[in-house]
Amino acid sequence: MSARASRGAVAFVVAVALAVAAVLVAVAHPLRWERAESLDLALEHLGDPGSTQFSRVVRVPDEAVVTDVTVTTTGPDDAAWTVELCEHGGDACRPLDTTLVGSRLTAGAHDVRAVVQVPEGTAVPSAGLTGRLGFAAATDPAGQSLAIGALALAAFVAGVVGAVLVAPRRPDRAEIPPPRPDRELEEARP
């Protein structure tokens, strides 16, 4: 195998490696995902007036950005609700309302905590909370698409270089032997 053909074969191997890298980047990091978590909680027979707390765990698969928050409460008009999104098992909490939209959430578990405060003398047969927490991947899809595109372009260029190097080439004029004068004379005779 000539040195030129060897370089062509190496270029083909590089092209395949770059194409595989582009596919692996695309598969390992999906461009964008979105998810909505239902926050529906129903409380029957709250019991004595006072404070009742309940919580629910929300799992975030990867770092995410909050895209939507909706919270509606039902129950006695004089009941006071506090609804927060907290670190799982921690005390760092933020109000679960529209001010949370655009905030980043770390990957992992988060607690939705709700506290309903019912004043003395209020009959509380039931109360409830309905809501939705929407979030989406925090990764930059444009940057990831750019990386995948750059790898694919490099693979294409390496493949073209390999094809050019492997293709048979025409000899240069310097490599063509000059015609011999005695041969020209023999060919010219009848």
pLDDT band at 157 (very low <50, low <70, confident <90, very high): confident
Which of 4-13, 93-102, 116-125 has the largest mean confidence? 93-102
> 27 in the Ramachandran plot: left (φ > 0), alpha (ψ -120 to 50) or beta?
alpha
For the cut 80, the answer to whether the pLDDT of residue 88 exceeds it is yes
Query: Cα separation of 84 and 168, whole Å?
Result: 71
The CATH label, of 2.40.160, 2.30.230, 3.90.550, 2.60.40, for the domain at 34-138 is 2.60.40
Q: Which helix (H) or strand (E) holds 53?
A: strand 50-60
pLDDT of residue 171: 64
Mean pLDDT of 50-77: 84
